[in-house]
Amino acid sequence: MKIFLDSADLDEIAALCDTGFIDGVTTNPSLIAKSGHNILDRIAEICAIVDGPVSAEVTATDYDTMLAEGRKLAAIGPNVAVKVPLTKAGLQACQTLSHAGTKVNVTLCFTAGQALLAAKAGAAFISPFVGRLDDIGRDGMGLIEEICTLYANYDYPTEVLVASVRSSQTVVDAALMGADVVTLPPKILTALYHHPLTDSGLDAFSQDWAKTGQSIL
């Protein structure tokens, strides 16, 4: 399963890309606003340090402007995936951009029916927001299971990109369901490798090792 970082913070991205297990980056208008940077500059900066797909979201809501924005974002680099919202205009823009060879990430997906239409529109990625569904008492991961089954039934190549992730357990659940990608805020990525028993076990090993007076080097 691929791991993307859900961030527009360049320092954060650079620090975690160093680990070697970041396969791409996703951004959205809120994350760009939080960064305080111009979207075109920031996406170009991210593309310069990330080889995998970098999702950059259009902000228009009508088809023509969405398309123009999508083309401008796609021109930033070959690894830009244009993110469009799951609306009628967004799906139409997805179809046009995908036919022209641009990777499209259809975002703000909350039902399997929406995901079906995104696949038919040629989306490279579908982004169901599991945390936001859980927030309103719905079953976010149940949606992932449905979409994975639905796409497998028809061999749709659209990748299921699990977004709005609130816990490291969601990452494991997504992998067990066969989702293609998870996009994680940095704190969830950290939570994925951190475990208190690892820390306390390491402390104990270090203390015992110090008593031996040995050195491997």
Binding string to ligand G3P for residues 188 to 207, with x set by CB under 6 A, is what? Answer: --------------------
3-state secondary structure of 183: strand
Rounded least distance, CB 212 to ligand G3P, Å: 47
3-state secondary structure of 181: strand
| Residue 125 near ligand G3P by CB under 6 A | no
Rounded least distance, CB 127 to ligand G3P, Å: 6
In contact, 35 and 16? CB cutoff 8 Å: no
Per rule CB under 6 A, count of chain residues that contact ligand G3P: 9
For CA atoms 92, 97, 102, 107, the dihedral sign is: negative
| Residue 6 near ligand G3P by CB under 6 A | yes
Residue closest to 162 by CA, chosen among 141, 191, 146 = 141
| Residue 131 near ligand G3P by CB under 6 A | yes
Give the one residue of 114, 164, 168, 170 binding ligand G3P; rule: CB under 6 A: 164
For CA atoms 159, 46, 74, 131, the dihedral sign is: positive
Task: Return the number of the residue (158 or 164) whose C-beta is nearest ligand G3P.
Answer: 164
Residue closest to 3 by CA, chosen among 198, 191, 139 = 191
- Angstrom distance (rounded) from CA 57 to CA 52: 16
Residues in 166-185 that interact with ligand G3P by CB under 6 A: 183
Residue nearest to ligand G3P (CB): 164
- Say which residues have a Cβ less than 8 Å from residue 70's Cβ, sequence separation at least 6: 58, 82, 84, 93, 97, 102, 104
Residue closest to 28 by CA, chosen among 74, 104, 82 = 82
Residues in 25-44 that interact with ligand G3P by CB under 6 A: 26, 28
Task: Return the number of the residue (33 or 100) whose C-beta is nearest ligand G3P.
Answer: 33
Rounded least distance, CB 68 to ligand G3P, Å: 22
Active-site position among 2, 34, 72, 83? 83
Residue 83 annotated in active site: yes
Residues engaged in binding ligand G3P (CB under 6 A): 6, 26, 28, 129, 131-132, 163-164, 183
Q: Which sequence positions are flagged as catalytic?
A: 83
